Chain A
Amino acid sequence: MSASTDSAIVKLENVHLSFGQTQVLKGIDLTINKGDAVSIIGPSGSGKSTILRCINALVTPQSGKITVAGTRVDQLTKESERIQLRKRVGIVFQQYNLFPHLTVLDNIVLAPTRILGADKTATVKLARELLEKVRLSEKADAYPGQLSGGQQQRVAIARALAMKPELVLFDEVTSALDPETVGEVLWVIRDLIRDGMTSILVTHEMRFAEEISDTVVFTENGKIVDYGPPQQIFHSTDNPRIRQFVGGLSGGGRGAVRDGEGI
């Protein structure tokens, strides 16, 4: 996280958050530049997903500054202001959460037309382009229930992109998928990052994180332990905890990733 703060699209400063008595974030500082791909890794319960939810105001921290694309997220008091922010920040969830009563195409078209008031014809055209991008053109008229997990997740990505977001948050998007379909989803995300979309990923796919990230952030117990280029985090860190975490995982490939994480 080099560069000047001018190009920063997301900036968290000393963010503290607790749910009841449980402290989840204990002082997070994080700067993400436009066009960057950042992976957040770390053991379960370390606050990775909560960081994402702070960024698009799904949860509000008790203290600290959060700036997203020029908006002081921590100072938003009205739900309507948070909604304005969420229109500009896409999020993709672990469980895809497609709308089961709508076709794939309608899932993608719904939010831009109803929420942003976009033109229907133009949005349908955009939706078809996005479906092509996620390689699901032939499924436009299918219902979510007829698709595999990987296909549903790719539709969810297309749905988020249809809002033309300034950045996209990926919250463990492959964790609910069977190993055979993980690849097709990662492929789509890789394309997206190559196209220059600012992306923040919470992920357990270490090899993928190493391959596509500009920066890797390692969190544990609500704190950022270390961050830097993937090369540094995965191969030349001095921190014994990260070395243990990464080393225990990367050796055995995907299977080991799963076991090590105890999902």
Chain B
Amino acid sequence: MSMTATQAPKTTAKSSRVLRSIGFVAMPLLVVIWSLVDLTLGKELVEWIPYLASGFSMNILITICAVTLGTTAGVLLGLMQLAPYWFVRLPAQIYVQIFRNAPALVLIFATTYIFPFEIVVAGNYLPFPDWVKAVIGLAILSSAYIAEITRGAVLSIPTTQWEATKGLGFSRLQALRYVILPQCVRRSLPPWMNVASSMAMGTSLASLVGVHELMHAATDASTAVRRLDFTIIAYVVVMAAFFTLCYPIARLTRRLEQRFNAG
């Protein structure tokens, strides 16, 4: 994470430096110093770190899967909302309006209980793990957000661009693919990153339906150790971990925004 703070305007550089030092310096430092002062605490923490790390890898996995799935579906839904035929447009509009306004936790609970715990494919019983259900829940939410981002981006392209493609003999789909969507990518990256980072934070909700992720792991650990100071330190570790997951996304967003403001 080598930040080129020199490129950013002064105030942003300053605030991001403060933020970065809290996330990457203050929180880890607190954990390390506390562990050294009370070595019994440090010993417990070292023992539990691999368990917490295995939980955190689940958060990363869910984030990546949900954002990938949500983006793919969202772009498609966004374009469907702009289709000239009502039977394409209407289902997409209904989907987006329903799920855009649903809380993430509700969707995760819904997918957990709606989908079976295993599925039968050609006589074989395949497990349908809870984390996949959480992925679907978050993907549904992010797809609805991203559909709106895509729709907004396409509509923000001046109609003269469509006219120019028409004059050159582009079909509607060719115009979308070669001229309109490439311009949309630039415009919709910052809001897309917002969705991505809120999905990253939303993965912690999966602990509530029993997915073994970081929050779940921290709760397990604190129940097992039964020490107040350990519980506090464990959740500081959780915070620091989420920070390292979201900070790069937020950072990248800001940098892209700056670039587009300049260009």
A and B: real partners?
Answer: yes
Spell out A's residues near B (CB within 8 Å): 56, 58, 79-80, 83-84, 86-87, 90-91, 93, 95, 97-101, 110-111, 114-116, 145, 159-160, 163
Which residue of B164, B178, B182, B186 is within 8 Å of A114 (Cβ)? B178
Expressed in whole angstroms, the minimum distance between the Cβ of A54 and any Cβ of chain B is: 13
- In the assembled complex, the Cα of A168 lies from the Cα of B164 at a distance in Å of 14
- In the assembled complex, the Cα of A115 lies from the Cα of B163 at a distance in Å of 15
A101 pairs with B182, CB closer than 8 A: yes
- In the assembled complex, the Cα of A116 lies from the Cα of B166 at a distance in Å of 14
B163 pairs with A111, CB closer than 8 A: no
A115 pairs with B170, CB closer than 8 A: yes
- In the assembled complex, the Cα of A92 lies from the Cα of B167 at a distance in Å of 8
B171 pairs with A80, CB closer than 8 A: yes
B171 pairs with A83, CB closer than 8 A: yes
B169 pairs with A97, CB closer than 8 A: no
Expressed in whole angstroms, the minimum distance between the Cβ of B164 and any Cβ of chain A is: 4
Expressed in whole angstroms, the minimum distance between the Cβ of A11 and any Cβ of chain B is: 21
B166 pairs with A58, CB closer than 8 A: yes
Q: A101-B182, A110-B178, A114-B174 are in contact. Are A87 and B169 (CB under 8 A)?
A: yes
A159 neighbours in B (Cβ, 8 Å): 168
Q: How many pairs, one residue from A and one from B, have CB atoms within 8 Å of each other in the complex?
A: 56
Question: 1/0 per position for B220-236, CB-CB distance to A under 8 A?
Answer: 00000000000000000
Q: A58-B166, A163-B169 are in contact. Are A93 and B183 (CB under 8 A)?
A: no
- In the assembled complex, the Cα of A73 lies from the Cα of B170 at a distance in Å of 17
A116 neighbours in B (Cβ, 8 Å): 169
Chain B's closest residue to A95 (CB) is: B160
B179 neighbours in A (Cβ, 8 Å): 99, 110
Spell out B's residues near A (CB within 8 Å): 160-161, 163-164, 166-172, 174, 178-179, 182-183, 186, 263
- In the assembled complex, the Cα of A163 lies from the Cα of B169 at a distance in Å of 9
7 closest Cβ pairs, A-B complex: A97-B164, A87-B169, A91-B167, A111-B168, A86-B169, A97-B160, A101-B183
Given contacts A79-B172, A87-B168, 13 further A-B contacts (CB under 8 A): A58-B167, A80-B171, A83-B170, A84-B169, A86-B166, A86-B168, A93-B163, A93-B167, A95-B160, A100-B183, A110-B178, A160-B167, A160-B168
B182 neighbours in A (Cβ, 8 Å): 101
A86 pairs with B167, CB closer than 8 A: yes
B172 neighbours in A (Cβ, 8 Å): 79
A160 neighbours in B (Cβ, 8 Å): 167-168
A95 neighbours in B (Cβ, 8 Å): 160
Expressed in whole angstroms, the minimum distance between the Cβ of B150 and any Cβ of chain A is: 16
- In the assembled complex, the Cα of A252 lies from the Cα of B163 at a distance in Å of 35
Expressed in whole angstroms, the minimum distance between the Cβ of A99 and any Cβ of chain B is: 5
A99 neighbours in B (Cβ, 8 Å): 161, 164, 179, 183
Expressed in whole angstroms, the minimum distance between the Cβ of A144 and any Cβ of chain B is: 11
Please indicate which of the listed interface residues B160, B167, B170, B186 has the most CB atoms of chain A within 10 Å of its own CB: B167
A84 neighbours in B (Cβ, 8 Å): 169
- In the assembled complex, the Cα of A99 lies from the Cα of B180 at a distance in Å of 9
Q: A97-B160, A97-B161, A99-B161 are in contact. Are A115 and B168 (CB under 8 A)?
A: yes
Expressed in whole angstroms, the minimum distance between the Cβ of A145 and any Cβ of chain B is: 7
B169 pairs with A115, CB closer than 8 A: yes
B166 neighbours in A (Cβ, 8 Å): 58, 86
Chain A's closest residue to B169 (CB) is: A87
